[in-house]
Amino acid sequence: MDKKGRGYLRSRFQKEINKTVSQYVASIPFDWRLYQHDITGSIAHAKMLAKQKIITPKDAESIVSGLQTIQEEIEKGQLEFKPELEDIHMNIEKRLFEIAGDVAGKLHTARSRNDQVALDLRLYIKEIIVETIERIRSFQQALIRVAEANKKVIMPGYTHLQQAQPILFAHHILAYFEMLQRDVERFQDCLKRVNVLPLGSGALAGVSYPIDRHFVAKELGFSQISTNSLDAVSDRDFVIEYQAAAAITMMHLSRLAEEVILWSSTEFGFAELDDAYATSSSIMPQKKNPDVAELARAKTGRVYGNLLGLLTIMKGLPMTYNRDLQEDKEGLFDTVDTLLASLNVLTGLVETMKINNTRMRDVMSNSYILATDLADYLAKKGLPFRQAHEAVSKLVQYAISKRKGFRELTLKEYQRFSPLFDKEVQQITLENSLVKRNVPGGTAPEQVTRALARAKRLIGKE
């Protein structure tokens, strides 16, 4: 408060800010999370100001040591953030005045909160991308372990959620490895555009001091500096890109979650959740519920919502900085928290789940899952595939009417549908159905062994 009772930076006004307004515009309840990035950015800025002789080395030293003290205070929970100081930037600046005196006022030379907040967010997302990729990697490692531990397990593969063709369970699990591999690549690609220093853009037009932006970029580990100040203070593409990559990753997690839910049902019975990852029912004592997977499936919705929210904030936003941009943060933080937690918990859930090999075989024993193999068998004997398909369709219809599986039909019965059938047809099994699909990317054991080795190489590279 100054002598007229006006708050920080309100000398232009006659009145103190309305309390409700002050709360409405404040971002400190959530942007305090950027404190470390704000301080790191300010320290680099102060060093640059001294190097360029815009402030003295002594001033820079007091500023830097004051900022370090503030960082410790925040970490120890000793600094009480004030909503009337709006945001993390002002809370830190105001505290710096208390610690270092008037010299604190020199830190904001050649800088605006507009390029400052853009910098803080970029520093934050750079760090978060590294953490996100690490978590995805752990998940991928768990998938490899699950695939390896169940290497021989054969399961029904589905299309339209109808039994289609037999596949190796490991092949199925490695499909998720692939999805997550693309996710990692998306985050790595996003990093290229996050890795640009906006500081030096000032409020919007650049600054009138002889600053050295490359020095700051180097200090803070940015690979480039922004090339248009107007764009630099108003661009949030990098936040959208992180959120889009997160939304796609969550979509992948939700698919796996959905399968785990199906597999752990009595009807499927393909998997049993570890007790530590299951929840109970408050009324039905027999239940072992997959709430973790259900929540991961559902939380995908909020991550999509956060992405849509930010796209909507940015839509039609005139140049350059507008306070609307402050609304970029809560959604982002929520997405980061949700994504990291979901990756974490699903890693454990998938890794501890027990796979029921016998049950998977049982559900295939009386099904017609080898029908494609029968059609292929006829086609390989010279029948055009479409005719082979028709012959086997009729055979299936016949077998169903007789309540028989393929293995229970006699050769005579087979031959009613095509004279090309001979006794080898009775040797078509789940195992050799797999072995035959020996094309790159197929489910043949040889291919899956190769895919596993490739997956391990990809992860080992980093």
232 makes contact with ligand ARG (CB under 6 A): no
Q: Is 281 a catalytic residue?
A: yes
Q: Is 120 in the site for ligand ARG (CB under 6 A)?
A: no
20 preceded by a cis bond (ω within 30 of 0): no
* DSSP-derived secondary structure letter, 275: G
What is the smallest separation between the CB atom of 351 and ligand ARG, expressed in angstroms?
39
CA within 13 Å, CB half, 327: 15
**235 makes contact with ligand ARG (CB under 6 A):** no
Does residue 114 belong to the site contacting ligand ARG (CB under 6 A)? yes
Question: Taking CB under 6 A as the rule, does residue 91 contact ligand ARG?
Answer: no
Q: Is 46 in the site for ligand ARG (CB under 6 A)?
A: no
- What are the helix (H) ranges across 353-428? 357-365, 371-380, 385-401, 411-415
Residues in the chain: 462
Single out the residue of 166, 159, 150, 56 nearest to residue 442, CA to CA.
166
Residues 6+ apart with CB under 8 A from 334: 302, 303, 306
Q: Among the options 65, 223, 265, 281, which is catalytic?
A: 281
Give which of 13, 16, 100, 26 is closest to 330, Cα–Cα.
Answer: 26
Is position 416 an interface residue for ligand ARG (rule: CB under 6 A)? no
- To ligand ARG, the closest distance from the beta carbon of 114 in angstroms equals 5
- Minimum CB distance to ligand ARG, residue 109 (Å): 17
Reply yes or no on whether 433 is catalytic.
Answer: no
- Kindly state whether residue 94 participates in binding ligand ARG, applying the rule CB under 6 A: no
Which listed residue (11, 160, 208, 401) is catalytic?
160
Residues in 337-366 at the binding interface with ligand ARG, rule: CB under 6 A: none
Does 304 sit near ligand ARG (CB under 6 A)? no
Q: Is 82 in the site for ligand ARG (CB under 6 A)?
A: no
Shortest approach of ligand ARG to residue 225 CB, angstroms?
20
Nearer to ligand ARG, 114 or 226 (CB): 114
Question: Could you say whether residue 59 binds ligand ARG (CB under 6 A)?
Answer: no
Question: Which stretch of DSSP H or E encloses residue 28?
Answer: helix 28-31
Q: What are residue 355's DSSP bridge partners?
A: 271
Rounded CA separation 231/115 (Å): 10
Q: By CB under 6 A, is residue 92 in contact with ligand ARG?
A: no
User: Residue 344 CB, nearest distance to ligand ARG (Å)?
Assistant: 28
Q: Fill in the DSSP letter of residue 279.
A: B
Structural contact between residues 155 and 128, judged by C-beta atoms closer than 8 angstroms: no
Of 250, 225, 429, 439, which Cα lies nearest the Cα of 339?
Answer: 250
- 425 secondary structure, DSSP code: G
Half-sphere exposure of 167 (CA within 13 A, CB side): 19
Please report how close the Cβ of residue 6 comes to ligand ARG at its closest, in angstroms. 17
- Per-residue contact track with ligand ARG, 313 to 332, x per CB under 6 A? --------x-x-xx------
Closest by Cα among 290, 123, 253, 110 to 196: 123
The binder of ligand ARG chosen from 59, 84, 87, 334 (CB under 6 A) = 87
Smallest gap from Cβ 252 to ligand ARG, in A, equals 31
When the beta carbons of 117 and 430 are compared against ligand ARG, the nearer one is 117
Instruction: Please identify every residue annotated as catalytic.
Output: 160, 281
Residues that bind ligand ARG (CB under 6 A): 27, 31, 87, 113-114, 117, 321, 323, 325-326
